[in-house]
């Protein structure tokens, strides 16, 4: 299975919907998290059908801003546990391998003065379940100064505050292949700014559960944010231990009979 996370520029534009259709066709995600949909259930329901998805949970937009959505395929069991304007939290069950874990789609407050609210939300969510946990989305924050290019340096208080929230939540950054600066503004001008605002965070227990997981960023033409695609590969199935098989041919070897008789006599003495 896989998860697609994207801060899309509103789903009222048919061209944006077509980009999403193309992403689903090429990456075949089982779960999609969308931020800044600028839409509610009425508008997203026909899009869900067009994408071929079974489940839909929406946090409605407020005017021309906000809006979150979580979509999932019919063969994926999703149970919504909590939500707000900035997150959707769900328990994911993989019945075929009897595995249960937790997914949170996250959208950090874009206003700098409200960033501490996002950090507090992340820390609060970390206390609500012991399940292996992965968090994806647009955090509107960076963890290191080199995750931003152009414009003024990120205030250290914002970097420190976000980093402390991630560590306090028991999460760690999950790297991805592809272009690392997932958001941009004013490309092609002297004011061009890029930053790694979109990312994936995991607990150690999630990484232990899915050691073969891998992720990538995807270039699109319809958003200032790049989608992230997390591919969740099942754990390696250990090969069954082969049982010992005695071959009669071995008795033809010199001293083999004596060695076997001596070994068996020690085993059963």
pLDDT at 261: 56
Average pLDDT, whole number, for the chain?
A: 89
Share of the chain above pLDDT 70, in %: 86
Cut 0.75: pTM above it: yes
> Given the DSSP bridges, would you call strands 133-138 and 198-202 parallel, antiparallel or unpaired?
antiparallel
* Per-residue pLDDT tens digits for 188-224: 899 999 999 999 999 999 999 999 999 999 998 878 9
Q: Who wins on pLDDT, 245 or 157?
A: 157
pLDDT at 64: 73
Per-residue pLDDT for 259 more than 70?
no
Q: Who wins on pLDDT, 235 or 231?
A: 231
pLDDT at 263: 56
> Buried (b) or exposed (e) across 39-50, using 16+ Cβ within 10 A?
beeebbeebbee
pLDDT at 137: 98
| Highest CATH level, class, for 2-231 | alpha beta
Sheet with 77-84, edge to edge strand ranges: 77-84, 87-94, 99-107, 133-138, 198-202, 172-174
Per-residue pLDDT for 80 more than 70?
yes
Cα–Cα distance measured from residue 45 to residue 39, given in angstroms and rounded to the nearest whole number: 10
* Per-residue pLDDT tens digits for 133-167: 999 999 999 999 999 999 999 999 999 999 999 99
Task: Give me the residue spans of the domains in the chain.
Answer: 2-231
């Amino acid at each position: 299975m896989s998860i697609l996370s994207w801060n899309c520029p509103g789903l009222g534009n048919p061209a944006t919907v077509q980009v999403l259709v193309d992403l689903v066709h090429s990456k075949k995600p089982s779960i999609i998290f969308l931020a800044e949909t600028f839409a509610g259930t009425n508008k997203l329901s026909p899009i869900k059908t067009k994408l071929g998805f079974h489940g839909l949970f929406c946090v409605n937009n407020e005017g021309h801003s906000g809006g979150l959505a979580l979509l999932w395929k019919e063969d994926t069991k999703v149970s919504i546990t909590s939500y707000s304007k900035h997150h959707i939290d769900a328990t994911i069950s993989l019945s075929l391998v009897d595995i249960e874990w937790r997914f949170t789609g996250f959208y950090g407050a874009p206003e700098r003065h409200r960033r501490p609210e996002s950090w507090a939300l992340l820390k609060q969510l970390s206390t609500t379940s012991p399940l292996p946990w992965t968090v994806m989305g647009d955090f509107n924050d960076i963890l290191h100064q080199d995750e931003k290019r152009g414009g003024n340096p990120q205030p250290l208080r914002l970097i420190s505050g976000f980093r402390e929230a991630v560590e306090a939540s028991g999460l760690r950054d999950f790297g991805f292949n592809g272009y690392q600066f997932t958001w941009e503004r004013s490309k092609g001008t002297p004011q061009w700014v890029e930053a790694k605002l979109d990312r994936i965070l995991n607990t150690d227990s999630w990484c232990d559960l899915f050691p073969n997981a891998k992720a990538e960023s995807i270039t699109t033409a319809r958003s200032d944010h790049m989608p992230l695609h997390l591919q969740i590969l099942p754990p390696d199935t250990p090969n069954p231990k082969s049982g010992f098989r005695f071959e009669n041919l071995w008795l033809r070897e010199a001293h083999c009979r004596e060695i076997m008789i001596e070994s068996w006599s020690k085993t059963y003495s």
